Amino acid sequence: MRIICVNTGNKFGQWYVDNLKHMIDNYSGLKYDSFEVIEEEKYKGVFNKLQMFDKFRDGENLYFDLDICIYNKVPNLIRRDLTVLHAWWRDRAHTSFNSSIISWTGDQSHIYKAFKKDVNMWQEKYNKGIDQMLEENFKVANYDKICYSIKGNEYNKKDNNYSIMLFNQSQYLMLPGWSSWWTDYFLPISVKNI
Amino acid sequence: MSIKICTLYFEGKYTPDYVEKLHNGLKKYCSLPFEFICYSDNPNVKADVVIPLNPHSDIKKHWYKLSYFSPLFANQKPNDDIIIMDIDQIIVNNIDDIIGYPVGENELVSYNKWWGGKPKLNGGFYKFKSGELKNFWSDFIKCPEVWQLNWYKTGVVHYKYYGEQNFVDWMCEKHNVKLTLMPSEWVCKLTNNKKEDKENQLQYIKKFNKDYMVLDKPHDDIKIIHFANPHANIHDSDYHWIKDYWK
C-alpha cells in the first residue's frame, strides 16, 4: 500500500509532511510500503493533486491532505474504486465532495489524461477546486463518516467516535502559538519548516 | 488566574527595541505579576514568550492582534486576564490601576480616546477574560480579506488596512459586549506633530481641569502615552524626557 501527500507551492512547509508521517506512523495503525510526496508544482494550487493519478497507476493508494490530525487507529480506508470524502459536516454548496482523503486501487490515470487535454479549461471552470470537478465528471464513490471537521468544533473536546479530524480552512490552528488537544499528536513545530 | 500582556511586532514601521522598551516599562511601573508575550515575525524581539508569526497567512499587519481573542492562542488558560497592548506606548507612572483594572464576563476594557474620533475605544489596549470574546476572532477569521479592508473601502479610515479598532467596536455592539473605558486622564496621545500635540494639550487641560498634559515631563496623573497616529513614532520624537522613560 502506498501513502501519498502533495506539498506544492508555499502554503505548507516541510513540517506538515513530517507531521503527517509522524501521525500515520504513531497513531493510525496503517502499514504501508511507501510514503510518497508530490512536490513538483505544475498547475494551479489544488490541481497539482491530480498528478497522483498519473504517477501511481497500480496497487493500493491512500492520499491525505496535510492539514489533518490523525489521533487514533483509523478504520479501513483502502478502496478498490476511486473514493473521496463526503463533506457531511457542512452544507452542500458547490459540491458535497471533499478530497482531503482519497483512495483507489489500480489505474485512475484517465482523470489526469482528461485534465491534461485542456488544463486551462478545467482550472477555470473548477476554480473552487478539484472536488467539484471529480463529482461532476468522473465516477467517484464516497466514504461513510470516517472523519470529522474542526468547523464548529474548535473549542470542543476530541471526538472519540472518529480517528481523523480535518482542519479544512482553519489550517492556522496547526501553527505555533495555537494549541488544543490536537497539539499533543503533532511533531514539535519548527519555525523554519512551517 | 494570571495576567498575560500580549503584543504584536511585525517588520516595517517599528524596530524590535519597541517591544523590549515596553516590556522594560511594564517591569518598572507595574507591581502586578504578568507574562509578557510577543507575536512576532522577528525572532529577536525580547519578551517572556515569543510566538513566531506565520509568514504565509492572509492576515495583514496589526490585524494579527485579533488572534489573542481566541482562547486557543498564546497558551491561555480559563479565567486568565488577557491584555492586548500596542507597542507604540511609553509608560510614565505606576500602571497597576490599568493592568489590574477589573474585567468581568462578556466585557472589554479599553482606553477612552478623549482626543476625539470614533470609535471611543482605543486599539492600543484591550483587556478581557480569556475566551469571553472568542467570537471576535471567529467572526474575523471567516473572511479576513473583507474585514481588513472594510473600513477603508467605506471611507471610515483613510489608510489601507486600518480599521481594526472599528472592527472590535462593532464586535462589542454585535455581541452585546459591555464596553468599559478607563478614566480618560490616565492616558494621553502624542504625535510627531507639534501643532496636533498642542491642540491635545489644550484639550487635556480643559477636559480634566489640569495645569498641563506634558511640560518638561508628563503630568503625574498620566500613566501611559500612546503615539496613536498613522505617522507617529517614538524614535523620531523631539521630547527630550522620553529617554528617561523609554529605554
Which strands form A68-70's sheet, in the order they lie side by side? A68-70, A164-166, A148-149
State residue B1's pLDDT score: 75
d(CA A15, CA A66): 10
Tell me how close the Cα of B227 comes to any Cα of chain A, in angstroms.
Answer: 28
Report the pLDDT value the prediction gives residue B32, as an integer from 0 to 100: 98
DSSP, collapsed to helix, strand or coil, labels residue B157 as coil
Q: Does the CB of A37 have a partner CB in chain B at under 8 Å?
A: no
Q: By the 8 A CB rule, do B225 and B89 touch?
A: yes
Using the 8-state DSSP alphabet, how is residue B87 labeled? S
Q: Which of A172, A180, A191 sits opposite B57 (nearest CB)?
A: A172
- Test the A interface: residue of B41, B73, B133 with most A CBs within 10 Å: B73
Q: Which of B52, B72, B134 sits opposite A173 (nearest CB)?
A: B72
Cell of residue B165, nine digits: 479598532
Q: Where are the alpha helices (DSSP H) in chain A?
A: 14-23, 51-55, 109-117, 119-125, 130-137
Q: CA nearest B127: which of B89, B72, B70, B84?
A: B84
Q: What is the pLDDT of residues B106-134, one digit of tens each?
A: 999 999 999 998 899 999 999 999 999 99
Lateral strand order in the sheet of A60-64: A34-38, A2-6, A60-64, A97-105, A83-86, A141-142
pLDDT at B231 over 90: no
Compute the distance between CA of residue A21 and CA of residue A74 in angstroms, rounded to an integer.
Answer: 14
Residue A11: list chain B partners with CB under 8 A. Answer: 56
Between the CA of residue A150 and those of A117, A147, A153, B48, what are the distances in Å?
36, 10, 5, 31
- A68's grid cell: 489533518
Closest residue to A175, CB basis, from B54, B138, B141: B54
B51 to chain A, any CB pair closer than 8 A? The answer is yes
Phi, psi (degrees; rounded to nearest 5) at A85: -75, 150
DSSP state of B138: H
Strands (E), chain B: 3-9, 35-40, 49-52, 81-85, 89-91, 107-112, 121-129, 178-181, 187-189, 224-226
Please give the Cα distance from B49 to B65 (Å, whole number).
15
Question: What is the nearest CA distance from A173 to chain B, expressed in angstroms?
Answer: 8
* Residue A22, min C-alpha distance to chain B (Å): 22
What whole-number distance in Å separates Cα of residue B171 and Cα of residue B175? 6
Instruction: Note the maximum CA span of chain A.
Output: 46
Average pLDDT over residues B32-58: 92
In chain A, which residues have their Cβ closer than 8 Å to the Cβ of B51?
176-177
Q: Average pLDDT of each block of 10 consecutive residues along chain A (194 residues)?
A: 96 94 98 98 95 98 98 98 94 90 98 96 94 95 97 95 95 94 93 72
Residue B47: pLDDT band by 50, 70, 90 thresholds?
A: very high
Q: pTM of the prediction?
A: 0.93
pLDDT value at B73 more than 90: yes
Lowest average pLDDT, out of B50-64, B109-123, B190-204, goes to B50-64
CA distance B169 to B177: 9
Choose the mutation target among B54, B59, B140, B145 for the interface with A, i.e. most A CBs under 10 Å: B54
Does A10 contact chain B (CB < 8 Å)?
yes
Helix, coil or strand: residue A5: strand
* Distance in Å, alpha carbon of B83 to nearest chain A alpha carbon: 16
Report CA torsion sign: A187, A190, B2, B7. Answer: negative
B155-163 average pLDDT score: 92
Q: In chain A, positions 169-188, which contact chain B (CB-CB < 8 Å)?
A: 170, 172-173, 175-180
At residue B208 the predicted structure's pLDDT band, cuts being 50, 70 and 90, is very high
**Helix or strand holding residue B214 (H, E):** none
pLDDT at B58: 86
Contact of B71 with chain A, judged by CB distance below 8 Å, is answered with: yes
The pLDDT tens digits for A152-191 are 999 999 999 999 999 998 999 999 999 999 999 999 987 7
Which residues in chain A have Cβ-Cβ distances shorter than 8 Å to B71? 155
Edge-first strand order for the sheet with B178-181 is B49-52, B35-40, B3-9, B81-85, B121-129, B107-112, B178-181
Q: CB under 8 Å, gap of 24 or more: what pairs does B74-80 form?
A: B74/A177, B74/B4, B74/B6, B74/B37, B74/B39, B74/B49, B75/A179, B75/B49, B76/B4, B76/B130, B76/B131, B77/B2, B77/B130, B78/B130, B78/B131, B79/B1, B79/B129, B79/B130, B80/B1, B80/B2, B80/B3, B80/B4, B80/B129, B80/B130
d(CA B227, CA B86) in angstroms, rounded, equals 10
**B73 vs A170: CB contact, 8 Å cut-off?**
no
> What's chain A's average pLDDT?
95
Output the pLDDT for position A194. Answer: 74
pLDDT score recorded for residue A190: 72
